[in-house]
Each structure stands twice: as structure tokens, then as C-alpha cells.
Amino acid sequence: GEDVEQSLFLSVREGDSSVINCTYTDSSSTYLYWYKQEPGAGLQLLTYIFSNMDMKQDQRLTVLLNKKDKHLSLRIADTQTGDSAIYFCAEIRSNDYKLSFGAGTTVTVRA
Amino acid sequence: SAVISQKPSRDICQRGTSLTIQCQVDSQVTMMFWYRQQPGQSLTLIATANQGSEATYESGFVIDKFPISRPNLTFSTLTVSNMSPEDSSIYLCSVFKGDQETQYFGPGTRLLVL
């Protein structure tokens, strides 16, 4: 099975908050990342969190990490139409820096 | 951050041919990787490109099909050999910047094999 799991779809009304959830299995992961991929585009790093942190906030983005449950979430405040994209959660292994990706959550923002 | 460029950005190829994708980084990096993203799928690691030695391949990927070169700390190539339609994917290179604790991706090469 996959090491990183995400729900596949999220629909949100413009102006509301979006919450994307992710679970991972490798307890030795040192960093966890959120990437954004818009249609036809490459991967854009949104934010990351170090494994010894519980929360990280960066403008409209809030990352929460529950290390005990191996659960990661990304909250986007005041979601805009430009936030429509696929969001990938990824964990990195400390010994070789390889990334394991989730399947990606497709976020659709409706007016 | 790291600025990564890839060439070509896209290509349409005939089955049985080979394509070499180039990845150039604006600074020296130790860790460089190649990923594949099949249509509608997530990213899968192909291999780690090692400078001065053979690449390290993940399960399911072999050197004969995906030969990789890494002549220095800013450049790498991935060749997709003897292509078939199943090789139609986006191929992305990435680098890990330890001083920034971050892995950056190139824009990707979109490959369609007919």
C-alpha cells in the first residue's frame, strides 16, 4: 500500500476555508511537504513542516502535524478560485532524502 | 530557492525511439532525483542521480530503460529508451537543498509516445 494517503477530492465555496488531510507511515520522516500543481504546470512548493513542530503558519496557509497519529493537514483560509489545483502531501526520509508522495487531492473552488 | 530548468519542455515521439531530457540547476546540489508522473497519477521516484557514480534506481526501474548521467553538481540527463506509449508521462527532476530543508522541482518534460 501507499506510504502517504490523501483524500482524492475536495469542493469548497469561494471565501471558505479548505482543509486537506494526509496520513503517513514513516515515523522517521524528518520533513513533510505540501506541493501545489495547477493544470499543465509543474510542482510548486507551498510549505513544509519539520517533524518536531506541531504547527506552522504562512499567510493563508496553516499546517498542523500530529506526530502521534502521523496525521498532517493543510488549511487554506479564504479560499480563492486561484487555489483550484491538485495538492500533494509528501514525506522525506532522513537517510536518503527521497520523497514519497500521496495520490494528490483535487481542490475545486466554486463561486 | 533553486532555479531548475528542463529541456525539452514537451515532445511527441514515435515508439521505439529514445529521448534525452536535460536538467540544469542554478547552484551546486548534492542530491538530485528524477521522478515520473503518469497521466492523472501522483509522482513516482525513478532514481537518484549520483555525481561521479552510477544512478541508484528504485524498484521497477532499470538502467537499460532509463540511463542517467550526472557529470557535475548542476546538471543531469535522463534518457527514456526504446519508448512505448506506456512511457507517456511528465518527467521531473528535483533537487534537495539541505541548507533550506527543501526539495525543489523543475517544470517537467511532458512526453507523449505515439
pLDDT for A92 equals 86
Q: pLDDT tens for chain B, 114 residues: list them.
A: 789 999 999 999 999 999 999 999 999 998 899 999 999 899 999 999 988 889 999 999 999 999 999 999 999 999 999 999 999 999 999 998 877 778 899 999 999 999
Contact A33, A99 (CB under 8 A): yes
One-letter identity of residue B93 = C
For chains A and B, CB pairs below 8 A equal 47
- For residue A72, the surrounding DSSP H or E stretch is strand A71-76
pLDDT for A2 equals 53
pLDDT band at A28 (very low <50, low <70, confident <90, very high): confident
Any CB–CB contact under 8 A between A99 and chain B? yes
The C-alpha angle A3, A57, B103, rounded to 5 degrees, equals 45
Q: Which of A8, A98, A105 to mutate to test the interface with B (most CBs of B within 10 A)?
A: A98
pLDDT for A1 equals 41
pLDDT for B81 equals 98
Q: CB B107 to CB A41 under 8 A? A: yes
- For residue B64, the surrounding DSSP H or E stretch is none
Contact A19, A75 (CB under 8 A): yes
State the CB neighbour count (10 A cutoff) for residue A58.
Answer: 10
pLDDT > 90 fraction of chain A, expressed in percent and rounded? 70
Q: Does the pLDDT value for residue A68 go beyond 80?
A: yes
Q: CB B42 to CB A41 under 8 A? A: no
Any CB–CB contact under 8 A between B42 and chain A? yes
pLDDT band at A46 (very low <50, low <70, confident <90, very high): very high
Find the residue in A nearest to B50 (Cα).
A96
**Residue in B8, B30, B17, B42 with CA at minimum distance from that of residue B114:** B17
pLDDT band at A42 (very low <50, low <70, confident <90, very high): confident
Select the residue of B41, B45, B107 nearest A99 (Cβ to Cβ).
Answer: B45
> Nearest-CA distance from A78 to chain B in Å?
26
Between A10 and B40, residue with greater pLDDT: A10
Residue identified by cell 469542493 is A11
pLDDT band at A41 (very low <50, low <70, confident <90, very high): confident
pLDDT for A26 equals 79
pLDDT for A88 equals 96
Select the residue of B31, B43, B44 nearest A97 (Cβ to Cβ).
Answer: B31
pLDDT band at A39 (very low <50, low <70, confident <90, very high): confident
The C-alpha angle A21, A27, A33, rounded to 5 degrees, equals 45
Q: CB A103 to CB B107 under 8 A? A: no
Q: CB B42 to CB A102 under 8 A? A: yes
Maximum separation of any 2 CA atoms in chain A, in Å: 44
Residues 6+ apart with CB under 8 A from B60: none
Q: CB B43 to CB A43 under 8 A? A: yes
